[in-house]
């Protein structure tokens, strides 16, 4: 007696890429960014704030951007190298990093901030993220579960244009984007931040990290990222859960165990960063009317 024929295993790979991508444009991207012109003569650089869930790789993304420009692994932002499960944010203070080419600073500044936690009273609060975007929080401030107040010495009452961020980057772990019911608090925090700053026209971008850990196909060959059904689904889920448009969600692989950079990882990182700075620059060209907190 023969059993019913088994269904063939579904392939993890699409016949066509879900996003067109030029893997040979690394040099073009670097040149464009190295000679980037701001749409304002009153600023020497534009500030970009990197936020997101704990353990998603915020600091690693900053290091990866710096490494892609320098052509070697650079660790300017400290990361947690322990093997234990991350339960609290390793980043505690607000820290800004200038992006450099070989011989000069570029007109971009990336700010790292304490991570968001899936608990109401733990980690940085949405109000502090919004205040940081508005430029009210001085660099070096150590965040707590209590939002910064006007009387705190690290609170800047009247921030200048250069203090304010022109784009918010959410860094999200591709492996955890299908948040469980226990993580609804994290989603609510992200949505609250998004609503507060969207009302003011501040753009937001998602960087989807650890794509190699989510999909074995991509782990074997990073250039399969746009053929991966799992990565496409993670991007769609990110769009559904957080609300950021799919064309502003960028899958990347951060450097974290490598000792040398490589062109494939670099081009994903540089493409994401170019979209981030172009989005921020476009916001700058439309003017900035700060809403008081």
Do 140 and 153 form a contact (C-beta atoms < 8 A)? Answer: no
Backbone angles phi, psi at 29, to 5 degrees: -65, -45
Distance, in Å, from the CA atom of 166 to the CA atom of 283, rounded to the nearest integer, reads: 6
SS in 3 state form for 208-231? EECHHHHCHHHHHCHHHCCCEHHH
In this structure, CATH architecture of domain 44-79+87-285: 3-Layer(aba) Sandwich (3.40)
Dig out the tokens for 102 from the structure. Answer: 């070989």
| Nearest residue to 143 (alpha-carbon basis) of 165, 125, 167 | 125
Do 141 and 80 form a contact (C-beta atoms < 8 A)? Answer: no
Q: Tens-of-pLDDT digits for all 293 residues of the chain?
A: 455 555 556 788 999 999 999 999 999 999 999 999 998 888 889 999 999 888 889 999 999 999 999 999 998 887 765 444 444 556 689 999 998 877 788 999 999 998 888 777 677 889 999 999 999 999 999 988 888 999 999 999 999 999 999 999 999 999 987 655 556 788 888 888 999 999 888 999 999 999 999 999 999 999 999 999 999 999 999 999 889 999 999 999 999 889 999 999 999 999 999 999 999 999 887 655 444 45
């Amino acid at each position: 007696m023969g059993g019913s024929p088994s269904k063939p295993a579904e392939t993890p790979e699409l016949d066509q890429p879900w996003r067109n991508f030029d893997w040979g444009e690394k040099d073009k991207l670097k040149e464009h960014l190295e000679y980037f012109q701001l749409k304002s003569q009153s600023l020497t650089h534009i500030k970009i704030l990197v936020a997101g869930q704990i353990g998603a790789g915020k600091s690693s993304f900053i290091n990866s951007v710096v490494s892609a420009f320098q052509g070697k692994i650079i660790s300017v932002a400290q990361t947690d190298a322990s093997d234990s499960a991350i339960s609290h944010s390793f980043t505690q203070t607000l820290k800004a990093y200038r992006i450099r080419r070989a011989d000069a600073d570029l007109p971009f500044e990336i700010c790292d901030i304490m991570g968001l936690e899936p608990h109401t009273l733990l980690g940085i609060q949405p109000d502090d993220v919004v205040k940081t975007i508005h430029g009210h929080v001085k660099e070096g401030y150590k965040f707590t579960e209590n939002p910064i107040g006007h009387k705190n010495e690290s609170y800047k009452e009247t921030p200048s244009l250069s203090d304010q961020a022109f784009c918010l980057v959410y860094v999200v772990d591709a492996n955890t984007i299908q948040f469980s019911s226990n993580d609804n608090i994290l989603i609510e925090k992200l949505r609250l931040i998004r609503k507060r700053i969207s009302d003011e026209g501040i753009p937001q971008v998602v960087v989807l990290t650890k794509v190699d850990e989510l999909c074995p196909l991509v782990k074997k060959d990073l250039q399969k990222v746009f053929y991966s059904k799992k990565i496409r689904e993670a991007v769609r889920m990110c769009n559904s859960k957080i609300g950021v448009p799919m064309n502003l969600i960028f899958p990347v692989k951060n450097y974290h165990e490598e000792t040398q950079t490589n062109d494939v990882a670099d081009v994903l990182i540089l493409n994401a960063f170019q979209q981030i700075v172009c989005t921020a620059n476009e916001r700058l060209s439309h003017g900035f009317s700060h809403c008081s907190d």
